[in-house]
Amino acid sequence: MKTLVIISHPDIMESGSQQYLLSSIPNDTNITVRHLESLYPDFKIDVPKEQALLKEHDRIIFQFPLYWYSSPALLKKWQDDVLTDGFAYGKKGKALTGKEFGLVLTIGVKKEEYQPGGREAFSIDELTKPYQALALKTKMIFLKSLPIFQFSYLTETQKMALLIRYQQYLTREKDDSLEAREKWFIQELQMTDLSKLNEGDQFILEQTVEFIEENRDTIDELKMLLDQMN
Amino acid sequence: MKTLVIISHPDIMESGSQQYLLSSIPNDTNITVRHLESLYPDFKIDVPKEQALLKEHDRIIFQFPLYWYSSPALLKKWQDDVLTDGFAYGKKGKALTGKEFGLVLTIGVKKEEYQPGGREAFSIDELTKPYQALALKTKMIFLKSLPIFQFSYLTETQKMALLIRYQQYLTREKDDSLEAREKWFIQELQMTDLSKLNEGDQFILEQTVEFIEENRDTIDELKMLLDQMN
């Protein structure tokens, strides 16, 4: 599976969350990352290039900070220019059919505010309806979103958990069985450049792999026992 | 009451609906119309100018064709640049508090498709949640939206009805009594440049004014009778 990550952030160098996510992207040739503001500072999108990239990938991710409950303007320009009638929708527009489409959102306000009675009143699921509608129109499969609330307040452990969820979001096939999740986890960790992480994080990661492998052994033994009893 | 109409449309000259709406804007010094793509073709917004305009007006209207269930990119750029922390929201951001905020949307697909089971699946009210949230955040009063579905299929009578609804949307105070609506109607018609309309429309308008005035006279007479009976 090949994944295209389209990032829109006008000030990505100053964003702790975006830098963390970028540094944790596995060293994987099946992942293509594009930062729109670096590529198109003048808002002039290379439409044929973007359309070709979309065709080559199976999972399309929009990654952006929530600005006025939507993406920064350049990603909207990308949508308006690239997702044309005859390409993304309409009678002859089948280029995106069957691909997966997901949102990675960085959000400055805490999760609890995004509900009735909260300061933001509407949930992230409500506010992202335009993207759900986009998936529907282009016949893409809408993935559960990955909203990241108040990144700078996360503990180190929460950040590690986020790193794993993010890597899964980019690369794990849509198979939610425990075995598939384990397999993915070990595979990806082998591709993660541990030297980029601090020592504490490295230790947690290595420990986690050991636990998983031990658990798998126990599960397999129990299964064998059950088989013998039947 | 002063109204600011912020239009975003990349190809406004070719848009039948936008041209119709533009031509029907009353000749009223209390209405300011700004077409963003004409003003800022390079996506560089004059923020102090836009903020000053917002302060001077009581009702703010966003008028745009629905592109991917949202505004064209330039209006999003305007939002991101102009509606800053300290101006539109945040502790010191009170510039928009108490103003009215409305959406005039031109939509290429028919209304029936914007519901569960329809091709677009989501309603306009659902898709415009980000704007409702914006109004909430900036403490503006969100007006009922004015969505215009498939303008080019409207009959002449429907277009005339739309013209009236649009003029009301821009200028009528939020008073829904019959008398207030009548008063508004006659006032505005006196400011409409009838020479821009074709003869049929002129005739309908003039007739309508007569009907309203006659009806008002009848109502007043009935009221007098009732008063005498009491």
CB contact under 8 A, B83 and A70: no
pLDDT at A168 over 80: yes
- DSSP letter (8 states) at residue B75: H
Q: Percentage of chain A with pLDDT > 70?
A: 95
> With an 8 Å Cβ cutoff, is A139 touching chain B?
no
Mean pLDDT of chain B: 90
pLDDT at B184 over 80: no
pLDDT at A225 over 90: no
A211: closest CA of chain B, how far (Å): 44
Q: Averaged over B125-129, what is the pLDDT?
A: 98
For B46-104, the pLDDT digits (tens) are 999 999 999 999 999 999 999 999 999 999 999 999 999 999 999 999 999 999 999 99
pLDDT at A147 over 80: yes
Closest-CA residue of A relative to B133 is A120
Measured CA angle at B65 (ends B63, B68), to 5 deg? 125
- DSSP letter (8 states) at residue A28: -
Nearest alpha-carbon partner for A170 in A32, A16, A78, A34: A32
C-beta separation of A17 from A152 below 8 A = yes
pLDDT at B176 over 70: no
B197: closest CA of chain A, how far (Å): 34
Q: Pick the residue with more confidence: A41 or B226?
A: A41
pLDDT at B213 over 90: no
pLDDT at B14 over 80: yes
Most trustworthy range by pLDDT among A13-22, A50-59, B197-206 = A50-59
pTM for the structure as a whole = 0.82
Query: What three-state secondary structure class fits B46?
Result: coil
Give B67's contacts in chain A (Cβ within 8 Å): 76, 79-80
pLDDT at position B202: 73
pLDDT at position B226: 80
Q: Percentage of chain B with pLDDT > 70?
A: 96
Q: What is the CA radius of gyration of chain B?
A: 20
For A71-115, the pLDDT digits (tens) are 999 999 999 999 999 999 999 999 999 999 999 999 999 999 999
pLDDT at B177 over 70: no
A119: closest CA of chain B, how far (Å): 8
Band of pLDDT at residue A224, cut at 50, 70 and 90: confident
Please count the other Cβ atoms lying within 10 Å of the Cβ belonging to residue B41.
10
For A171-202, the pLDDT digits (tens) are 988 766 667 777 777 777 777 776 777 777 77
**Complete DSSP assignment for A49-114:** HHHHHHHH-SEEEEEEE-BTTB--HHHHHHHHHHS-BTTTBSTT--TTTT-EEEEEEEESS-GGGS
Q: Averaged over A40-59, what is the pLDDT?
A: 98
Nearest alpha-carbon partner for B189 in B166, B159, B167: B167
pLDDT at B191 over 80: no
Band of pLDDT at residue B29, cut at 50, 70 and 90: confident
ipTM of this complex prediction, to 2 decimal places: 0.81
Q: Percentage of chain A with pLDDT > 90?
A: 69
Domain-wise residue ranges, chain A? 3-153, 175-230
> With an 8 Å Cβ cutoff, is A37 touching chain B?
no
pLDDT at position B175: 61
Facing A120 at nearest CB: one of B67, B68, B133? B133
pLDDT at B178 over 90: no
CATH architecture of B3-153: 3-Layer(aba) Sandwich (3.40)
Which tokens hold the place of B197? 């309309």
CA–CA gap between residue A160 and residue B36 (Å, rounded):
44
| Alpha-helix residue ranges (DSSP H) falling in A83-198 | 124-127, 129-137, 156-171, 178-191
Which tokens hold the place of A170? 């980019």
